[in-house]
Amino acid sequence: MGKHKLENTLNQIKATGKPLFIPYMMAGDGGIDQINERINFLAECGASAIELGIPFSDPVADGPVIQDAGLRALQNGTTLKLVLDEVRKQKESRSIPIILMTYINPIWNYGYEQFAKDCDAAGVDGIIIPDIPMEEEEDIAAQLSANGIAFIRLAAMTSPDERLKKIAGMSEGFLYAVSVSGTTGERAQHEENTLNYLEKLTKLSSVPVLAGFGISNPDQAKYLAAYCDGVIVGSKIVHLFAEEKQTEIRELIGETIK
């Protein structure tokens, strides 16, 4: 079952003392036929799991680099169904966990039950939905749970402690700690309150805590990973793929996890 595969994989890596590293890639940027190729490449680079973004016309959590990649992917004709069909092709041969990052609207259009079943059939292990609050997630959470797929929750720095405790208690697979206030994108530095927040979440959470948003180099990644279990890197990976700088992606992941 996906829920357990994701958590088990991350805990096994965590037990080695190395930081977790989850790269984000935009599905369909560079073409649908590039999806599995890029997944395999990131796995070879040492990624712990892969976050696969589904392009959407109104991506409220994304900064300019990921928005542009989403537009390119949409222009390539990328749809949620096509991405799942593509990912399904390597279900049997793939060992790295796959996490989909999508907004609630495409899932609602797809149909919650069908979406969860098709994700399971494609070998998807976890789902991130940044625009659905805890109070409104019941229907989709039930379908994901019925299909053994981890529902990864996001925690924000602006949330009060009581809410963070609830979110930490509900998250499956890992807890996504949004380490900046604002959208995704590269940042020059992270402030002290971010570090306190990551330490707090790590104490509250029974699943690994990964910091995401605003991480663009190995120094930043290692710095933040010292206060939680690892990092998620999106905009930088998307940018490097768009410029065909695979060597730099390999270095970024390799430097962080060594």
Number of neighbouring beta carbons within 10 Å of residue 17:
6
Exactly one of 7, 29, 62, 118 is catalytic; name it: 62
φ, ψ of residue 21 in degrees (nearest 5): -135, 115
Exactly one of 7, 29, 51, 125 is catalytic; name it: 51
Residue 15 structure tokens: 């037990």
Q: Is 62 a catalytic site residue?
A: yes
For 191, residues 6+ apart whose C-beta sits below 8 A from its C-beta are none
Q: Which amino acid is at 81?
A: K
Q: Is 248 a catalytic site residue?
A: no
Residues in the chain, overall count: 258
Residue 154 structure tokens: 């996001």
| Pairwise CA distance, residues 144 & 151, whole Å | 7
The residue among 225, 227, 229 whose CA lies nearest residue 256 is 225
Q: Which residues pair with 154 in a beta bridge?
A: 176
Task: Determine contact, residues 63/114, Cβ cutoff 8 Å.
Answer: no
**Which run of H or E residues covers position 22?**
strand 20-26
Q: Give the catalytic positions in this structure.
A: 51, 62
